Amino acid sequence: MAKAVVPGVQERLRSIVGIKGWEYVVYWKISDDQRFAEWVGCCCVGTSSQGLHHALESDVFSSAPYFEGSTVRCPDLYVSHAVTKTCLMLSEMPTSVPLDQTGSFGQVLLSGQPLWTHYPVSTDPGLGQDKLQTKVYIPTQNGIIELGISSHVVENAALIQYVKSRCGDTWQEFNVRDVTRTSLQSFHIPLRNDKGLLDTNDLLGGSNVSPLDLSSESALSLGYGRDNMQGYQSSLDQQPFKMFYPSHGAAGGTGELVERNLQLNTASEGNQVQWCSSTDSHPWGVPDGPLSEQFSSQVAHTHLSLFGQEKRVPLTGHHSVQEQYEGSGDSSRLEKNLSAFVQNFHEISVPVVPAQTFHAASESPRGSGLSKENSDRDIKHETRAESSDCSEQIDDEDEKGVPRSGRRHLSKNLVAERKRRKKLNDRLYSLRALVPKITKMDRASILGDAIEYVKELQQQVKDLQDELLETKEDDMQANVATIPEENMNPLLLDEEIGVHVGDDGRGSSKLDPLSTPSLDMGERQIEELRQPMQVEVSKMDAHLFTLRIFCEKRPGVFVKLLQALDMLGLDVLHANITTFRGLVLNVFNAEIRDKELMQAEQVKETLLEMTSQSDCRIANLGNGHVVGPQLISFDS
Amino acid sequence: MAKAVVPGVQERLRSIVGIKGWEYVVYWKISDDQRFAEWVGCCCVGTSSQGLHHALESDVFSSAPYFEGSTVRCPDLYVSHAVTKTCLMLSEMPTSVPLDQTGSFGQVLLSGQPLWTHYPVSTDPGLGQDKLQTKVYIPTQNGIIELGISSHVVENAALIQYVKSRCGDTWQEFNVRDVTRTSLQSFHIPLRNDKGLLDTNDLLGGSNVSPLDLSSESALSLGYGRDNMQGYQSSLDQQPFKMFYPSHGAAGGTGELVERNLQLNTASEGNQVQWCSSTDSHPWGVPDGPLSEQFSSQVAHTHLSLFGQEKRVPLTGHHSVQEQYEGSGDSSRLEKNLSAFVQNFHEISVPVVPAQTFHAASESPRGSGLSKENSDRDIKHETRAESSDCSEQIDDEDEKGVPRSGRRHLSKNLVAERKRRKKLNDRLYSLRALVPKITKMDRASILGDAIEYVKELQQQVKDLQDELLETKEDDMQANVATIPEENMNPLLLDEEIGVHVGDDGRGSSKLDPLSTPSLDMGERQIEELRQPMQVEVSKMDAHLFTLRIFCEKRPGVFVKLLQALDMLGLDVLHANITTFRGLVLNVFNAEIRDKELMQAEQVKETLLEMTSQSDCRIANLGNGHVVGPQLISFDS
DNA sequence: ATCGACACGTGAAAC
DNA sequence: TGTTTCACGTGTCGA
């Protein structure tokens, strides 16, 4: 599971612990099924910083995976050192962490943004509760770098960038490609788009980090993880986002407004690096000085590299920055995958820079061959596509006089096709996420595994049903006639509502839960009386809703209800309507017709709104138990 | 569901019935979900051939879908004629036939070969068991042509070809695309590749068929349905299949061995037309004469059209044949979809004909614009791909001197890419075949549905396991008091439909047909299910009715139903609505609002009348057995 | 060099 | 009419 320690990472990150004061570094990679972060390796500080008074609770750890014998050893085997509390903590770490949306890992991977957390170390009584432990999760290309320290360290963008620049491409044995983000996207976590506010007050790190050390080692490069997510999010939403380049001197003189800009502002007074979708141009002003220059040039360069077709920000010659960026990951794939967005971006944006600028910029010597190759490919793409390069576009329209509508149409097609592809991919990865046994990661295998899994499930269901039937037949033979739960409708996730829709409700007790959720309101009764009808919507899964509507029975109320459901795009799968004394209880199971996501609250509100226009008035619930069981007893 | 009768087909096939002695022709189209053959139209012979001693069992048909009133009318409304037994049989036909592998339709569609069946007419005692009825199913582009006659008629390839030539492109409103074959392939039936031995001993038809009539009306064109299947099968297996062209004079002088040949041999002594994957060249020799010439030229031409890039068989000038072929279907899509195979084919085969032949052939005026458009597109594709046209390839190598390896690599890539796509598609369609509930046919929806289905199955398994556990736990305990039969929902037409109303496809043992997508319901059940609307009204007491309405689920059907009930003056007291696979069962308990006396039959008729005005069509519930009041005693 | 896998843009066609 | 879906060929990357 956990691979052998990768020396490259180990060596690269070794300097973080100890020298920079961090106590440990753990690097996780995304598992093959994209569901776990797997422990790859770690660096331990190797010195006893807090003592080891817990070291001999080794019973717990004697069989831990990283302990070869019964003696407690640090998982970081590369440096032989005394066992510290850190070692113990490292050895306590799971080899695999599920990537759910609630966890830090999932958040980090989804957002593409580092997570800098402080939390009290409650496990160690020696440390006060006010003493915070800092943990940092930094997404990299193939996984996550986790840093930990038992002291409070403020956020440190430079450190993050350093780590990123160091740990991007070290896990080549695992091909993450672009599926990571898409599959993670299936966790349905909203991407954090403009919350990536990095506190750069202490830009060069916490107290333990030497500014010199860091600045010498790493030019600040914007991690493309974030860029990637940003681009991804934008292309996901199909919403343009604005990017603005500070038009100060160092970044070049192209101060014109570019339609979509990445706002990255370096303010010396706050040193805040803000990445957002703001629409106004840099409100903080751009100071001069090495730091900001570094920033802006890096932004320019990063942008040039990431959005190579942007061509509006001239190179400032910081090749080292470029190298740094390039070294920070297997960026080619990402760039390639970003090209959809980039081209989309480029098409809509108005060309304002003559073609020479572009050519000069793109053909200017880069620092590395990789970058050149990438840019070359990008250029080739452009030339072939004939749709994303502004100069080409100008040429086209000027020379050939191609009607713009045609281009428009083509570009629309292009965008739509990207969208379609993305949707397909998302679905594919969602499917993959559902299938537990995954042999390979390629599309055909995903489908094949899904097929096998479905067959397996079907067989399983069949077997279970048979078994159940046998059991019940046995029951039936035992005591004369019982069909205990056969009519229970498993499609309904009843526990939330407590209704067995298929149940005829002979047993009066079974009906109590049916009426409880709408009837046991207590204090809320009064304000709910104001509502024209009681609507309760439960979302069973992505597409299945259960609605319970309790109202007065009026002529046409059913028609109106069903019309409302229909207009809501809800397909009624099952309905149970019961009337009693002028009141009516409707229980619907409905499915979203067009597979659009809709929230329960949304449905409820819309339904209320729609039905409130009619004359269906309030159902009085004054006396709790309105629907007596005898009313719904449907048998004779 | 079944569309209005298409006049084109009607007219085209009219001559088959009567003149050629067939008693009826029914044309079916493949349903949107590729799972049913839907009744499109028919031609009835229009004369009483067997008398109509069954005609007055009209109770069964009084509300049959194709009868507008209570009088029995033939579904073939285009020719007013006396009601015959054929009319009755036609009216008895289901509007939709499931395409499972066991049925004739599925076989025919899968194999692409016509099916000529003889079987005894057991339903009519007037006909002896030895008297055979002949039914022929002929696959066409969009469906199946069914011919029927109550006498024994031997196989007749010419008739089949005639029908095919007549019925290819008449259902343009239904977009078959290419999914037909692929989705059918997912039924996992091995395609009959070389068993298509057609007995052409009586080539020009059965005793009733006039040879002159047939030969004058139709140039014999090989139905591309078969071509399609053949090509598909070949590309499916990734195994080349051989095609040999009889190198007699009429087909042109290109007698050289082409690597893959379609062997179609016309032997005068046996008049056997064999379509097979044989590897030896035509062993029977090729006779001269108009018929065989027609065949061979048609083969050449068909091949030229289908495999337009073959270019080895010169045109023989039978443009009429080409037109016939072109008229026989929406071939463009198929050709396009076949192009993968064609190009693959073309690449491996050795070019033996100079480029001029190709250009002359492909640029020679075709019969119709459609064909021209197709060939143009094909040429364009070739030019763009630069890999499939031999002349282009030669040109490339001669002129530009492009290294062959590069081209080779590209073309290999091309082939591999096609293969990959095909694999993906196959998997996708296999997956689709496993998922019972399919909303749309596009890829994204397939995946989405599969995702939903997997979730559902997982939940189902979970529920079943829980339930099983509970049951067993209950078993452990001495179960004290049980409710004997009330859990059997008395409103269900269990034995008739095999569907539990309260169930949505999970849980109880009755759900097996529900959860298995394999359409393993009996024909009779399906027929009943697919009938447009079944209405059953039971009068419980003076004011209380129970209605059971079983119909297809259509948008707005609930609204319409409730409106109808409302307008009938019926107050719904209880409703239970359950959907299943596009069908819906509504059980209402309704009370007469204004206390008027109304009889059950009256309610039923009015309801049928009202709902028949909408698109929910009427059907009679064959046996009007009424739910006994004991089932639905609704008193409290 | 070769092969498999993938994303991309594109034209066509169905909706 | 525009929108959506699809298959196709191509370039690229990594094994």
Residue A352 CB neighbour total at 10 angstroms = 14
Q: Best interface-test mutation with A: which of B558, B588, B610 has the largest number of A CBs within 10 A?
A: B558
Cβ separation of B503 and A481 shorter than 8 Å?
Answer: no
Q: Which residues pair with A26 in a beta bridge?
A: A42, A146
Distances, alpha carbon B255 to alpha carbons B34, B282, B360, B364, B389, in Å: 41, 11, 19, 22, 21
Q: Could you tell me if A630 lies within 8 Å of chain B, comparing CB atoms?
A: yes
Q: Which of B300, B140, B325 is nearest to B221 (CA)?
A: B325
B576 vs A572: CB contact, 8 Å cut-off? no
Q: Which residue has the tokens 């969602």?
A: A430
Q: Is strand C within 7 Å of residue B443 (CB)?
A: no
Residue contact B439–A595, C-beta within 8 A: yes
Structure confidence by residue, pLDDT tens digits, B319-328: 333 333 333 3
Q: Best-predicted range by mean pLDDT among A30-34, A586-590, B170-174, B244-248? A: A586-590
For residue B26, the model assigns a pLDDT of 84
* B405 part of contact set with chain A, CB < 8 Å: no
* pLDDT tens per residue across span B425-484: 888 888 888 887 777 878 888 888 888 888 888 888 888 888 888 777 766 654 444 333
* Minimum-distance nucleotide, CA of A416 to C1': D4
B34 CA – C3 C1', rounded, Å? 36
Name the closest residue (CA) to the C1' of nucleotide C4. Answer: B416
Of B520, B498, B521, B503, nearest to B456 (Cα)?
A: B503
Given CB atoms, is A542 within the 8 Å cutoff of chain B? yes
Between B173-182, B399-408, B597-606, the lowest mean confidence (pLDDT) is in: B173-182
Q: Is A291 on the interface with B (CB under 8 A)?
A: no
Characterize the bridge pairing of strands A143-149 and A24-30.
Answer: antiparallel
Q: Which helix (H) or strand (E) holds A307?
A: none
> What pLDDT is recorded for position A12?
67
Spanning CA of A440 to C1' of C4, the rounded length in angstroms is: 13
**Shortest CA to C1' contact from B387: nucleotide:** D9
Residue A442 contacts strand C, CB under 7 A = yes
Distance, in Å, from the CA atom of B426 to the CA atom of B435, rounded to the nearest integer, reads: 14
Whole-angstrom Cα distance, residue A22 to residue A416? 47
Three-state DSSP state, B573: strand
Question: What pLDDT, on the 0 to 100 scale, is given for residue A427?
Answer: 85
pLDDT-derived band at B113, boundaries 50, 70, 90: confident
CB-CB contact of A297 with A303 (8 Å): no
Cβ atoms < 10 Å from Cβ of B526: 17
| Pair B124, B163: CB distance under 8 Å | no
CB neighbours (10 Å) of residue B525? 16
Sign of CA dihedral B95, B101, B105, B110: positive
Residue-level pLDDT at A344: 38
Instruction: Determine contact: A436 vs chain B, CB below 8 A.
Output: no
pLDDT computed for residue A161 by the predictor: 74
Q: Which nucleotide is nearest to A337 (CA to C1')?
A: C7
**Contacts with B273 (C-beta within 8 Å, 6 or more apart), sequence order:** B157, B198, B200, B264, B265, B266, B295
Round and report the angstrom distance from CA (B53) to C1' (C12): 55
Residues of chain A scoring pLDDT < 70: 1-12, 15, 18-20, 32-34, 46-73, 77-82, 100-102, 119-132, 141, 165-410, 475-532, 594-599, 610-636
Residue with tokens 């595994």: A449
Please tell me what DSSP assigns to residue A4.
P
- CA B336, B341, B344: angle at the middle one, nearest 5? 120
Which residues in chain B touch residue A448, judged by CB atoms under 8 angstroms apart?
A: 427
Q: Does A579 touch chain B (CB under 8 A)?
A: yes
Q: Does strand C come within 7 Å of the CB of B333?
A: yes
Q: In a 3-state reduction of DSSP, which class is residue A245? A: coil
Confidence of residue B629 (pLDDT cuts 50, 70, 90): very low
B424 contacts A443? CB cut-off 8 A: yes
B440 CA: nearest nucleotide by C1': D5
Within 7 Å: CB of A551 and strand C?
no
Could you tell me if B416 and B402 are in contact, meaning their C-beta atoms sit under 8 angstroms apart?
Answer: no
d(CA A142, C1' C5) / Å: 19
CA distance B93 to B89: 6
Q: Are B209 and B21 in contact (CB under 8 A)?
A: yes
**Burial zone of B369 (CB within 10 Å; 0-12 exposed, 13-18 middle, 19+ buried):** exposed
Query: Average of pLDDT values for B360-364?
Result: 34
Interface size between A and B, measured as CB pairs under 8 A: 249
- To the nearest whole Å, the CA of B440 is away from the closest chain A CA by 10
Range B9-24 average pLDDT:
70
Q: Are B179 and B441 in contact (CB under 8 A)?
A: yes
**Entry pTM:** 0.33
Reported confidence tier of residue B602, pLDDT bands at 50, 70, 90:
confident
- How distant is the Cα of B95 from the closest Cα of chain A, in angstroms? 24
Substitution target in A559, A585, A610, A614 with the highest count of B β-carbons within 10 Å is A559
How close does chain A come to B354, measured CA to CA in Å? 32
Closest nt by CA–C1' to A414? C9
Q: What pLDDT does B134 receive?
A: 80
Give the dihedral of Cα atoms A174, A178, A183, A185; nearest 10 deg. Answer: 140
Cα–Cα dist A606/A129, whole Å: 48
Residue B512 CA to residue B510 CA, distance in Å, equals 6
Find the residue in B nearest to A425 (Cα): B444
Contact A488 B474 (CB under 8 A): no
- SS3 annotation, B585-598: EEEEEEEECCCCCC
pLDDT at B95: 76
**pLDDT score for B212:** 28
Question: A574 touching B, CB under 8 A?
Answer: yes
Which member of B458, B475, B630 has the closest CB to residue A457? B458
Q: CB count, 10 Å around CB of A539?
A: 19
Percent above pLDDT 70 for chain B: 35
Q: Which residue of A has its CA nearest to B503?
A: A489
- From chain A, the residues in CB contact with B630 under 8 A are 636
Residues (410-429, chain B) with CB within 7 Å of strand C atoms: 412-413, 416-417, 420
- What pLDDT digit, counting tens, does each position of B286-322 carry? 333 333 333 333 333 333 333 333 333 332 333 333 3
Residue B8 has pLDDT above 70, yes or no: no
- Per-residue b/e over A375-413, b at no fewer than 16 CB within 10 Å? beebbebbeebebbbbbbbeebeeeeeeeeeebeeebee
List all nucleotides in chain C with at least one atom under 7 A from a protein Cβ.
1-15
- Across all residues in chain B, what is the average pLDDT? 53
Residue range B67-97, pLDDT digits in tens: 334 355 677 766 666 677 777 777 777 777 7
Contact B482 A481 (CB under 8 A): yes
> Which is more confident, B593 or B588?
B588
The answer to whether A631 faces chain B, any CB pair under 8 Å, is yes
Predicted-complex ipTM score: 0.34
Cα Rg of chain B, angstroms: 29
Q: Which helix (H) or strand (E) holds A378?
A: helix A369-385
- Is the CB of residue A485 less than 8 Å from the CB of residue B471? yes
Question: A475 and B475: CB-CB below 8 Å?
Answer: yes
List the strands of the sheet with B96-98, edge to edge. B96-98, B36-44, B24-30, B143-149, B132-139, B115-120
The residue to which tokens 């609505």 are assigned: B577
Residue in chain A nearest B501 by alpha carbon: A502
Record: contact A479-B475, CB cut-off 8 A: no
Distance from CA of B629 to the nearest CA of A (A): 9
| Nearest nucleotide (CA of A428 to C1') | C6
How long is the CA B449 to C1' D4 vector, in angstroms?
19
Taking a contact as any Cβ pair under 8 Å apart, which residues of chain B between 487 and 506 contact chain A? 487-490, 500-506
CB within 8 A of B433, min separation 6: which ones?
Answer: B183, B186, B187, B517
Angle, to 10 degrees, between the axis of helix B157-166 and the axis of helix B7-14? Answer: 150
Compute and round to an integer the Cα radius of gyration of chain A. Answer: 30
Task: Supply the pLDDT for residue A485.
Answer: 35
Give the residue carrying structure tokens 């999932």.
A106
Lowest-pLDDT choice from A400-404, A585-589, B29-33, B498-502: B498-502
Is A482 in the B-facing interface, judged by CB distances under 8 Å? yes
Beta bridge partners of B584: B551, B579
Q: Please state, in angstroms and as integers, the Cα–Cα distance from residue A170 to each residue in A12, A165, A215, A502, B11, following that order.
A: 10, 11, 22, 57, 72
pLDDT category of residue B250 using cuts at 50, 70 and 90: very low
B508 with A501: Cβ contact below 8 A = no
> Which residues in chain B (407-426) have CB-CB distances under 8 A to chain A?
420, 423-424
Quote the CA–CA distance of A311 and A256 in Å, as a whole number: 13
Positions of strand D less than 7 angstroms from a protein CB? 2-15
